[in-house]
Amino acid sequence: MLIKNGIIVTGADTFTGDVLIRNGVITQVGLDLSGEGEEVLDAAGKLVLPGAVDVHTHFDLDVGIATAVDDFYTGTIAAACGGTTSIVDHMAFGPDGCRLDHQVKRYHELADDKAVIDFGFHGVIQHVNEDVLADMQTLIAEGITSYKFYMTYGYKLEDADMMRVMARIKELGLIVSAHPENDGTIAYFKDLFHKTGKLTPEYHAKSRPFQCESDAVNRLLLFSEMLGDVPLYVVHLSNGLGLDYCKQARQRGLRNMFIETCPQYLFLGEELYKNADGLKYVMSPPLRDKRHSDELWRGIELGDVQTIGTDHCPFNYATDKQQGAEDFAKCPNGAPGVEMRLPLMYSEGVAKGRISLNRLVDLCATNPAKLFGMYPKKGTIAPGSDGDIVILDPNAKFTITKKDMHENVDYSPYEGMKLDGRISAVVSRGELIVRDNTFLGAKGRGQFLRRSKPITMI
Ligand code: URP
Ligand code: ZN
Ligand code: ZN
């Protein structure tokens, strides 16, 4: 494929030129390129971006009371239509006491014949013993170079086990994340609200205040400091106090800590819980007030935040979410987002003048690819990188509406938002897989990403 005359954007550069892709790999980036027999895509006046990388999805996630309604087929189609050409999914917990490879095998069964874009898996730690610590080394060869544990929910780890995992992560040169919420404070508030009959969705948010999240984030930072700066990826940061704690830790010398926030914490606010359809927004951490969104935006603008993920975890509003109609605690936690990440960040970030095009690419492609061992195969436009490209028309506009989307869920949290810029084509390993919002690729074409160790100097 030859992409002609586009405005090529990487994390470092913006220039007009051509991209030549042969056998799925970029062979040349330059001026006046010509090829023989290549499919030519005219990108004049359009932006040519690296395929975006979303390192926070939950396809097929089974949370006991419901299963996320996007599987690796529908979820990756939605991702592709939104300009994301690689994902790294968080594996669900396995059976009690299972070895780490149990879920890796399970997830290959779920994904290998279905995914339409390239994909990897984060390991999940649900208990800690010598076998688990040994498995963390064995699985490096299988491409599992990042792990997540939970500080709340079933299978939450106790402090000593968190320390053991984090020490092992540092020893092996991997990267760890944790779902950071203080379990005890959630239990206290849930109990209080149940006793006082406060069961509407707004009490979901009130049961998980920003201090509850910040406390857990700060403890992770302090644990990392005690262990000598463990590669730590703070997932779905939703609040300004947590961001302050991270910045303070950086000032104290922590260098290997990276922050992800998600579009929901930038574009949606806690007032939505008071609406009749408030259950749509039951997710953890919950939506916050605008002050926190503003602080996160500032963190993005100043470079304190390194990546944008989605935490895509969709449940149908008409059915799954209604389990919480009488009691917020019975509502499955999570919301869709994989399809609109890049369009939202382009429109509200770049077109509104908050961030540069290069910073958009860093946040949505280059940094996640580096931190999760996929760079430079993924996350940039350079000879030798995979031919994963998004062509975005900066002059087009559109309104987000569920009926035009590919996520297999019955609503979009962003319904009705008017966006500047529109994706006109998406290329994965040199194959045109999306044109004008229509998916053209084949089921199962996605390849497993055997990821390397993280690059933490970003
Ligand atoms: O509510 C959420 N975020 N559900 C998905 C799982 C998680 O905590 O990331
Ligand atoms: Zn989480
Ligand atoms: Zn998540």
pLDDT at residue 37, rounded to an integer: 83
CA of 148 relative to ligand 3 center, distance in Å: 10
- The minimum-distance atom of ligand 1 relative to the CA of 56 is 9
Q: Identify the CA nearest to 301 among candidates 277, 339, 332, 266.
A: 266
Hey, which of 204, 283, 330 would you mutate to test ligand 1's pocket, going by the most ligand atoms within 8 Å of its Cβ? 283
Residue in the block written with tokens 């949505």: 364
DSSP 34-80: --SS--EEE-TTSEEEEPEEEEEE-TT-B-SS-B-S--TTHHHHHHH
Q: How far apart are CA 278 and CA 287, in angstroms?
A: 11
HSE-CB at 46 with a 13 A cutoff on CA atoms is 21
- The minimum-distance atom of ligand 1 relative to the CA of 235 is 9
CA of 90 relative to ligand 3 center, distance in Å: 7
CB-CB neighbours of 394 under 10 Å: 17
Q: Residues near ligand 1 with C-beta < 6 Å?
A: 58, 179, 283-284, 311, 313, 333-334
**Could you give the 3-state DSSP secondary structure of residue 438?**
strand
b/e 260-274 (16+ beta carbons within 10 angstroms → b)? bbbbbbbbbbbebbe
Question: Which amino acid residue places its CA nearest to atom 9 of ligand 1?
Answer: 311
pTM of the model: 0.98
State the distance between the two ends of the chain, measured CA to CA, in whole angstroms: 30
Q: Identify the CA nearest to 452 among candidates 143, 202, 201, 232.
A: 143
HSE-CB at 318 with a 13 A cutoff on CA atoms is 5
Beta bridge partners of 361: none
**Could you give the 3-state DSSP secondary structure of residue 444?**
coil
Beta bridge partners of 425: 391, 435
CA of 97 relative to ligand 3 center, distance in Å: 22
Element (H, E) at 392: strand 389-399
CA of 365 relative to ligand 2 center, distance in Å: 20
The sheet with strand 52-57 has its strands ordered as 52-57, 84-90, 118-124, 146-150, 175-179, 232-234, 257-261, 307-308
Strand pairing category for 2-9 and 47-50: parallel
CA of 437 relative to ligand 3 center, distance in Å: 26
pLDDT at residue 36, rounded to an integer: 84
Q: How far apart are CA 311 and CA 30, in angstroms?
A: 36
Residue in the block written with tokens 């690689």: 86
Question: Which amino acid residue places its CA nearest to atom 2 of ligand 1?
Answer: 334
Question: Which amino acid residue places its CA nearest to atom 4 of ligand 1?
Answer: 334
- The minimum-distance atom of ligand 1 relative to the CA of 284 is 1
**Could you give the 3-state DSSP secondary structure of residue 123?**
strand
Residues lower than pLDDT 50 in the chain = none
**Do the beta carbons of residue 144 and residue 374 sit within 8 Å?**
no
Which amino acid is residue 275, in one-letter code? N
pLDDT at residue 35, rounded to an integer: 81
Q: How far is CA 295 from CA 113, 239, 299, 360, 417, in A?
A: 41, 7, 6, 18, 22
Q: How far apart are CA 204 and CA 281, in angstroms?
A: 10
Q: How far apart are CA 123 and CA 144, in angstroms?
A: 6
CA of 93 relative to ligand 2 center, distance in Å: 13
